[in-house]
Every structure is written in structure tokens, then in C-alpha cells.
Amino acid sequence: MNAKTSKRLNMKERYRIMTRDLGWEPSYQRYEDIFPQEGFEGIKITDWDQWEDPFRLTMDNYWKFQAEKERKLYAIFDAVSQNNGQMKISDPRYLNAVKLFITAVTPLEYNAYKGYARVGRQFGGVGARIACQMQSIDELRHTQTQIHAMSHYNKYFGGMHDFPHMFDRVWYLSVPKSFFEDASTAGPFEFLTAISFSFEYVLTNLLFLPFMSGAAYNGDMNTVTFGFSAQSDEARHMTLGLEIIKFILEQHEDNVPIVQQWLDKWLWRGYRLLSIVGMMMDYMLPNKVMSWAEAWTMYYEEAGGALFKELERYGIRPPKYADQTVIGKDHVSHQAWFIFYQYGHATAFNTWVPTAQEMDWLSEKYPDTFDRLYRPRFELLAEKAARGERFYNDALPQLCQVCQIPLAITEPDDDTLLSHRDTVHDGERYHFCSDGCRDIFHHEPEKYVQAWLPVHQILQGNCGGADMEKVIGDYYRIEMGEDNLDFEGSAEQRRWAAWKQAV
């Protein structure tokens, strides 16, 4: 740009100069050496100029908008802190959802920040690089604001004190951790398909809206506020996700089968990951918003169904096991909560049997499954707890080699039979929770044989020995009786009662 030019640039020209015009054609290095990962997945890009920038922001405007949001956000954080916001929540049980979020979801935001910073470097197109750069900064901001929002509760409640350490080691957190490590160790186009499209565009409403709505229904202003603050970012991310898929599919017809395989894989991986969200919605919120089955119907079957219908013109069909997710929506939250209840001594949050009123609500929301399959189970657990025989499972479960969920999910065509698949690779047998996970393994066995399975690591002595109390206390850094076990009689319940009495 000529420094002597006095002409005032319009927004379109300024945007072009500050984004697309920052690129250049290489002269003394080969393109393949500068962007070595762009071609190894088999994706063919014929014209990067066809990329439509979903962000449409220059960096100076980006900082201006984000700074204004930060100013408003932290003013509310301060007000919540000064007015003892921890006392405004509906019930102390609600804080267990916050503990689950800070240990399972916030580290994913940090991994997304690192992932977008890495893959943005691998694209020859300037538009794609800038989009990844801005989303990377967004994800780092979300990490920071979530930590700051929940740090207030950390002053008064346990289970949040060491979430980065827990994310790397605690058994149930290997489910979200393995999801993101799977995406981060893929190529750049698969990473964007996995995170920007399959997760951000197709599934993000199933993660963020239930958590933020649940927070609003239960008096948690900090969580509601950071959710609203991140919502405009998430809207841009969803736009980027759709642009990525359309751009890849429009570039070359050979890209279609590659993208289809990725969509089959990442919908299934995302569905398995979101079982913890379903559990939170149906069991952990004292004041409930909607059931997991209702959320899946609204945000995936209806919205996602319309999306995949739109993609049919590119030769894309709905993901392979989408029909099984429709069947599973009536089961997955109950099965997940039962897993966590029986292993409540090895979690960083409290668990409990739902009350009679809550079971009636579940019966209403799940008329075909709850009374027939799950109410008798929970009533038996309640009877045992009343006799002082609260059930804890001391056996270590078999884990799925891919999603790392315990094999306690039922067959799609027989809800009285546990689903279990296996295969032999290089003379060793591997186990899976479903056909979907087994298919993913068969496509890249060399990748998934390296999975870090918590149960295997404990049995191999890599987690501080075979003594489970030592593993939980020293290796996981979960304080037995303070951070976990049954909610009735817990330290959290006693502290809450004392505060309420003092007020």
C-alpha cells in the first residue's frame, strides 16, 4: 500500500489489504515444503481463492469487539463474587455439573486453541490461515473466561482444584481427552472436519445450550454470563464449520468419499463423548431444562437432518450410524449415570440416586424405557443405601479401545443385552462398545492400538500401584470423601447447610 495515498479505504478494501493481501507466492522454496501436511490426507485443493471468509474481521476490529465483551463479562464476575453468588444457586448438587464442566470441557477449549494454531500453519490459503488464527484466539479466551467464572466456586467447593492434572489422568476424563487427541493427531483437513464441522456446527448446541440453560435455571450467573459472552464466537465457529465442508467438497469430486468417512467417524465419536452431557441434563441438574432425548431430537435430528439434506447435492449422505443415535438417545444418559454412580468413589464429584420426584420426571420424558429398565435399578440402589449398603463397584471395567467408555452400553436392537465387539490385530485382541467404534479402529488400527486406556495402565502398575485408594488419592489427586462419594452426608452438603443456617 502506498504510504503517500490519502484516499480513505472503505471496509471492503481495508479487509482485503489486512487479510488476503498479506499472502505471497513462494519463490525460493517449494510450495510442498512450506505446507507439507496440506496434501497427505488426499484432499485436493484447486483454488484457495474460492474460500469465503466466515469471520470477515480485521485483527484490530477483532480486539475491539472482544475487549468490549471482556469489560462487561468481568463486571458481572465481580458482582457475583461480591454478592456471594455461590449462595444463589438452586441446590448444592448443581455444583457437580460445574465440576464436570471445568474438568471435562474447559481443557478441550485449550486443546482447540492449540489445534487451530497448529493446523492454520498448514494451509496455503490465506483466508483459511486467518480464520484458524482467530478461532485459536477465541478458544484461548474461552478457556480463560471459563476458569475465571468457576474460580469463584473453587473457593467454597471441592473437585475443581486441579483440573488440568485430572484431565490428563482421571479415568472418565480419558473420554474427552482421547476425542481431542484423536483430532489433534489427524491431518489439518480432518481436524477441521472433526472440530469445526462435526463438533462446532453439528453438535455444539448439544454441549453449550444445555450447560448454559442449566446454569440459568439453577441460579449460576457466572456460567450463564460466560456462555452468552462466547455465543457470538460460537456463531462464527459454526459458520466456519459449514464453510470448510462446502469448500472441500466443491474443490474436487475425489474429496467426497474422504469427507464422508470423516463424517461417519466424527459424528459417532462426538455422540459417545456427549453421553456425559446427557447424564448432566437428566441427573445432575436440580432444576431441569429438558431431557437429553428432547435435546438430541431438536438439535441433531431436526437441525442436523436438514443440514445433511442440504449436503446431498455434494454426494454426502447422513453419517453411517446416525440411526443408532436415535435409538440410543432413550438410554445413554441413564446408563452413563449408573456407571458414575457405582464408581462414585473414583470421581471428582458426588453422585446420588434420583429422588422419587425426579424419577417421575424421567418416566414422563422416557416413557418407553425408564420404568421398564432403569427405575427398578435405581429403586434397588436406594433401598440398599437406606440400609447402609450403598453400592460401590470395586472391579475395574473393560473399556472401549476407541471412545474409552466402559462397555456398559446396550445393543441398539436389544436393550437388555450389553454391546460388546472385538477384533484381532497383529495377534492381539481389542474390545469395543459398538460397531461404530470398531469401524473406526479398522480404518486406522496403527493409531488406536496406541490408546492410553486408564484401566490397562492401572493394571500395568503405571498409576502408582494396584491399591485403588492410592491411585485415586495420589495419582488422580482426588480427596476421598471430600471431592466424591455419595452426596448424602457429603462435605459439600454439610458446608451448604451450615452456610444457609448462618444466613
The reported pLDDT for the residue numbered 283 is 97
In a domain, 69, yes or no: no
> In the prediction, which pLDDT does 376 show?
97
* pLDDT tens track for 152-166: 999 888 888 899 999
Please name the residue ranges forming H helices in 343-480.
356-365, 375-386, 435-443, 445-448, 454-459, 468-470
What's the grid cell of residue 325? 443415535
Contact assessment for residue 345 and residue 484, using Cβ atoms and an 8 Å cutoff: yes
- Going by pLDDT thresholds of 50, 70 and 90, the confidence category of residue 415 is very high
Q: What is the pLDDT of residue 2?
A: 52
Lowest mean pLDDT among 231-245, 262-276, 411-425, 465-479: 231-245
The end-to-end CA distance of the chain, in Å, is: 65
Q: Above pLDDT 90, what percent of the chain?
A: 69
CATH number at residue 421: 1.10.620.20
Residue at 44 is within a domain: no
Q: Model confidence at 1, in pLDDT bands (50, 70, 90)?
A: very low
Q: Does the residue 41 lie in any domain?
A: no
Residues 24-40 have a mean pLDDT of 91
Q: Which of 83-97, 194-208, 239-253, 439-453 has the highest mean pLDDT?
A: 439-453
Domain extent for 282: 89-352+391-502
Angle at alpha carbon of residue 324, lines to 371 and 340, rounded to 5°: 55
In a domain, 420, yes or no: yes
Q: What pLDDT is stored for residue 467 in this prediction?
A: 87
In this prediction, residues 269-284 reach a mean pLDDT of 94
Round the average pLDDT of the chain to a whole number and report it.
91
pLDDT score of 233: 85
Is 265 part of a structural domain of the chain?
yes
Q: Which helix (H) or strand (E) holds 421?
A: strand 421-425
Is 374 among the domain residues? no
* Residue 242 resides in a domain: yes
Query: In the chain, how many domains are there?
Result: 1
pTM: 0.93
For residue 277, give every residue at least 6 positions away whose Cβ sits within 8 Å of its Cβ, in sequence order, or none.
206, 207, 210, 211, 292
Instruction: Indicate the SS3 state at residue 417.
Output: strand
Q: Which of 151-160, 176-185, 267-276, 441-450 has the least mean pLDDT?
A: 151-160
Mean pLDDT is highest, among 63-67, 69-73, 339-343, for 339-343
**Pairing relationship of beta strands 410-411 and 421-425 according to DSSP bridges:** unpaired
Q: 366-381: per-residue pLDDT in tens? A: 999 999 999 999 999 9
Distances (CA, A) of 401 to 176, 178, 198, 324, 356: 14, 10, 21, 19, 37
Question: In this structure, is residue 237 part of a structural domain?
Answer: yes
